[in-house]
Structure 1
Amino acid sequence: MPHQVNEAIESHYTRPDVGSLILAALARAGKDLDQLTPEDLTPIDAFHIRGRAATLELAHVVALDAKKRVLDVGSGIGGTSRCLAQKFGCRVTGVDLTEEYWRAAAMLSAKVGLQALTEYRQGDAVNLPFEDETFDVVWSEHVAMNIPDKTQLYSEMYRVLKPGGVVAIYDILAGPSGPVLFPVPWARTPATSFLVEPVELRQLLEEAGFVISDWTDSTEAARTWFTSLVEKIQKNGLPPLGFHVLMGSDFQVMAQNQGRNLQEGRITLAQVVARK
């Protein structure tokens, strides 16, 4: 069963040769492909609600600095890893289930000159390909929604952390008012969506051995951000560079559903930091 779920998740995210699609979209947006900067990638890089602002908020809570070795679980096309490497000088390893994504991540990091601080591997979050006690920070943004075995997910995060290390999570959780409307950016059907409620996430982390040090409900900020995103799309159409390059033509429906899920309390968002 986990193998079938993994295949379904990979097929949800995979678009053939996504790296070339991204470069073509950058060119259409007027970017010089020989002189790309991390900022040029921003509209497509931060594939999570509230984008780079949410990443930086979490990084400041964690007190990231250049001495920290970071594992980004579910690193996608590498937006978060590049942001953290560029802003804080830390070394970041990204691991992602989708081969097209981690290949694109490595290519884009090289294009913006961050290959010395970032590296990418294909791997499963519930069976991380790393030794015990390797990382100072395990980072994860908008990933656990696709993972059914959360007990194994958080115990793997705990295992690869050094003693005193922290897990930094920014995730979509089940809201109080009923089932999610599909399709959404993380799943086209309920078959690959595994949301837990905030109380369940707290329990899962504590059972894995973590001590929670910071918990922020960021649902309201997410609602505001998403309303503004949908209004922009309705007014101006899809920009040359955006998440639709990764998700394809049904992204507009996904975005509308995501907005409704937020507004109607079907999903909530949490920023969580917990220590080993």
Structure 2
Amino acid sequence: MTDIFDDVRDHYRATGLTERLKTALMALGSEDQRLTPEQLGALDQFHTRGLAATAELAKLAGISADMSVLDVGSGVGGPARFLAATYGCRVTGVDLSEPFVDAARYLTERTGLTGQVSFQTASALELPFDDGRFDVALLQHVAMNISDRARLYRETRRVLKSGGRFATFDVVSNGDEPLYPVPWARTPATSFLMTAAATREAIEQAGFRTLTWQDDTEAAKSWITQLRASGPPPSPNLGVVMGPDFAQLSANLGQNFLESRIGVLTAVFEAL
């Protein structure tokens, strides 16, 4: 497991990320100018369909201002900041990549949300929180990097209150091997896709019951088609985070969707 985690960390190492972000964000104004989550949406929503997918998942999860929310695999913090700004809730993000956590803290300062949003470097398989700490847990495009799904979902259940919500938005396998590299893995060594049916079974066995279950693959295909028609995204964008080969990663992602090698699952569960 340690070797796999090291490989995942290498994929998301992003050396010098915060400094690259500071340089890229000069296009949006001076260092002391406060930014909004919407302004950062092309940069910090590291998943299919971007900010729109986060907004839809949050609505399905029923997030409100009095809730404590955990974002598992929080990346550079886009979803966490959006939730805090939109709903007024408290959000804690955890990510395996220390450079991502450092960048998330920097961007949160730039949006003036440090009072509501915090980040820690931690594994999703060993969450550093007490049992029953959170009302809601979000998992967006993270499980594909984790081989021990049973442990992932048990650990998520452990930190949720009874009756809490677990909302997931993840890539699933449709049976064929994806084309690599892709945004979550440059080789099959760090890619652990499961079918939608197997994902549901693993989550329910961890102590959840299904509330919402959606196949959003067609929406993902439409998003890919629109992106291709509109040309390169404006700067700053996710290329700042993932490096110079992001165009290839993104192109392969789109091809995998359009060839139905992969799909997208949106689901919300209740902790029993």
Could you say which TM-score interval applies, normalised by the shorter chain? Answer: over 0.9
Runs of 4+ in 1 over 4 A off after TM superposition: none
1:60 counterpart residue number: 59
TM-score w.r.t. length of structure 2: 0.97
Match of 2:33 among 28, 32, 35: 35
1:230/1:256 contact within 8 Å kept: no
Number of residue pairs matched by the alignment: 270
Match of 1:247 among 238, 242, 250: 242
TM-score w.r.t. length of structure 1: 0.95
SS in structure 2 opposite 1:40? coil
**Aligned counterparts of 2:9 and 2:234: Cα–Cα separation in 1:** 25
SS in structure 1 opposite 2:40? helix
2:219 counterpart residue number: 221
1:230 counterpart residue number: 228
1:70/1:135 contact within 8 Å kept: yes
2:8 counterpart residue number: 9
Residue deviations 1:74-113, cap 9 Å, x none?
0000000000000000000000000000111111111110
Change (3 A) 1:30 1:108: closer
1:204 counterpart residue number: 202
Query: Where does the alignment leave 5 or more consecutive residues of structure 1 unmatched?
Result: none
> Which amino acid in structure 2 is aligned with residue 230 of structure 1?
R
Residue deviations 1:94-136, cap 9 Å, x none?
0000000011111111111000000100000011111101000
- How far does residue 206 in structure 1 lie from its aligned partner after superposition? 1.1
**Aligned counterparts of 1:81 and 1:4: Cα–Cα separation in 2:** 29
Query: Where does the alignment leave 5 or more consecutive residues of structure 2 unmatched?
Result: none
1:118 counterpart residue number: 117
**Aligned counterparts of 1:225 and 1:238: Cα–Cα separation in 2:** 13
| Correspondences of 1:1-276 after superposition (within 5 Å) | 2-27=1-26, 29-38=27-36, 39-176=38-175, 178-233=176-231, 237=232, 239-276=234-271
What do you get for the CA RMSD once the two structures are aligned?
A: 1.1
- How far does residue 238 in structure 1 lie from its aligned partner after superposition? 5.4
